[in-house]
Amino acid sequence: MNISTMNISTTNLATMNARDPADSTVQVTQWLHQFASALTTQDTLALGDLLAADAHWRDLLAFSWNIETHNGFDAITSMLGRRLSAVKPSRLRLAKGRTAPRRVMRAGREVIEAIFEFETADGHAEGVLRLVPDSSASTGLRAWIVLTALRSLAIVPAQPGAHSPAINDYSRDFGGENWLDKRNRARAYADHDPAVLVIGAGQAGLAAAARLNALGIDTLIIDRNARIGDNWRKRYHALTLHNEVHVNHLPFMPFPANWPVFIPKDKLANWFEAYVESLDLNCWTASELVEGSWHEADQCWHVIVERGDGTRRLLKPRHLVFATGVSAMAQMPALPGLDTFGGTVLHSGQYTEGAGWKGRNVLVLGTGNSGHDVAQDLHSSGAHVTLIQRSPTYVVSIREAQRVYALYAEGIPIDDCDLIATAMPYPVLRDAYQFSTAVSREADQALLEGLSSRGFRLTFGDDDTGFQMMYLRRGGGYYFNVGCSDLIVDGRVGLLQFEQIDQWVPQGVRLKDSSLLPAELLVVATGYKNQQEVVRASLGDTVADRVGPVWDFDEGGELRNMWRPTAQPGLWFTAGSLAQCRIFSHYLALQIQARLRQNTGK
């Protein structure tokens, strides 16, 4: 299972040269001064002196109340012309207490990178600049990339029922409610409805609920599993995360410094459980959304939640957040003759361990991370394993895969890393991933040649952008090699192309050359359905069709329907890696807060 971080630069962050950092600070300050003046006067000519012709402006709520990117000078100035009078940006300055301006490489380009802050009509905002040298500009610099992001809303009256613990909330009250009494009452929802209902208690749901809770928004999480963390706890025995610990913190509670570099699934599952208790998050386990409908007149949902004891509750939240992830509903392909197969069939999400298959013939269909990991686990348990490849797969060594997370190993504060990570618009992100993939391909050359010699079909992505773009576009199609590729190269794990199969038969699979490959177990590692189908199952066709597909990039270079308004009022989506969930839960929560507190459709 991949845990991938969106919009992280893939280039080395080493200092470009030994110039005095104070020089960069002076240059950025001068540029910001002129930029502020140009915005105030809406002077397009002045902006032309400050922005590169190929500039990109990514905005996270600060100017647009959306997540969107504008590419090129004309698109940027058009956006500013429409929005400056309402946004009223002011007090642009270098951000205090943040990483100082520094000279770095981004997607093969030398830049000065700086974090700045400013005020808008709606609240406090921050941003990232990437400035490139240009002797024709009056400041000697032009902006190649600008990120603007809303940090917090201006103080407004709290919504009735919103609550943030105060210093006296849990003081001694002899004869009255103690902390546990209040917590039990809050999460029972016996006499009120949550403002927000979050479906799913994985990293997406927990991060969203934590952000909302911190803003004083009454939020309930429901999860169909019996325990919080079971979405990880119940996965296969050997599972650990495929990226390093410093990338993967949740909001407000970073992992302890002594945690392993690659987090084991059960350790993460237990942390999720502790996270809910520590942050006073309201959660119903063994609970599932059965059905629901949007009531326009009341501007809220009417949803039925079935509890573990079989009882049902009607809840009327104003917002639903689907946090079921990109792996909610198993995708089971139609396989010829499978109904005649006499062995056991499992989806990879159901597979736990291979001890019971020692000495027996096993097939694993699918060559992504799960397929390879399951095959390696079965082989290590003594099973005779054949991996079936359906389509070309990107393979990268686990060491090289960490290249895309280099920013988080630089030692700067994680909040700065997260902000910098979002400042990578789609066109530049694509270029950066092409560079990273090319470097990794060269480093892994011997491994890749060994796989090719065994008949393993390789790909490097539609445009040679590697696993990150494959994850963001389709949610899979790659493998981080932690040993299974070596087993394939050595012939210890067999390899079969799906095209060689005629049909499944009671004893296994019959191949097109009429030979029989015996098997007693088939593990299907073929991925999961789109979140649109999760909505269809619980809210019906009308809502699902109105929302449309979730995930993959839209025409503007942003993930479709993720962390921003959908075509269905009051319906939101969040998913992805721990880093994605940590970063974008902030912007999701701000949008919901604005709607609840200001009753605005912005």
- Give me the DSSP letters along 514-534: S-EEE-SEEEE---B--HHHH
DSSP single-letter state for residue 138: T
Neighbours of 499 (CB within 10 A): 8
Q: Are 389 and 457 in contact (CB under 8 A)?
A: yes
- The model's pLDDT over 443-453, given as tens digits with 9 standing for 90+, comes to 999 999 999 99
Contacts of 271 (CB under 8 A, 6+ apart): 229, 255
Catalogue the E-assigned strands of 10-161.
51-60, 67-71, 90-94, 102-106, 109-119, 123-133, 141-153
Return the pLDDT at 17: 40
Return the pLDDT at 94: 97
Q: Give the amino acid at 426.
A: Y
User: Angle at CA 463, nearest 5°, toward 69 and 429?
Assistant: 30
Return the pLDDT at 600: 45
Strands 141-153 and 123-133, by their bridges, are antiparallel
Ranges of the chain with pLDDT below 50: 1-18, 157-162, 600-602
Q: Are 34 and 50 in contact (CB under 8 A)?
A: yes
Terminal CA-CA length for the chain:
36
How many whole angstroms separate alpha carbon 130 and alpha carbon 111?
A: 6
Q: Give the amino acid at 304.
A: I
CA distances to 238, 254, 373, 436 from 482, rounded to whole Å, are: 11, 26, 8, 19
Closest CA to 204 of 306, 272, 152, 305: 272
Q: What is the DSSP string of 416-457?
A: HHHHHHH---HHHHHHHHHHHHHHHHHHTHHHHHHHHHTT--
Return the pLDDT at 597: 84
Closest CA to 442 of 470, 466, 407: 466
How many whole angstroms separate alpha carbon 600 and alpha carbon 180?
A: 36
Return the pLDDT at 168: 59
SS (H, E, C) 308-368: CCCCEEEECCCEEEECCCCCCCECCCCCCCHHHCCCEEEECCCCCCCHHHCCCEEEEECCC
Burial state string for 338-362 with b = 16 or more CB within 10 A and e = fewer than 16 = beebebebbbbbebeebeebeebbb
How many whole angstroms separate alpha carbon 114 and alpha carbon 128?
A: 6
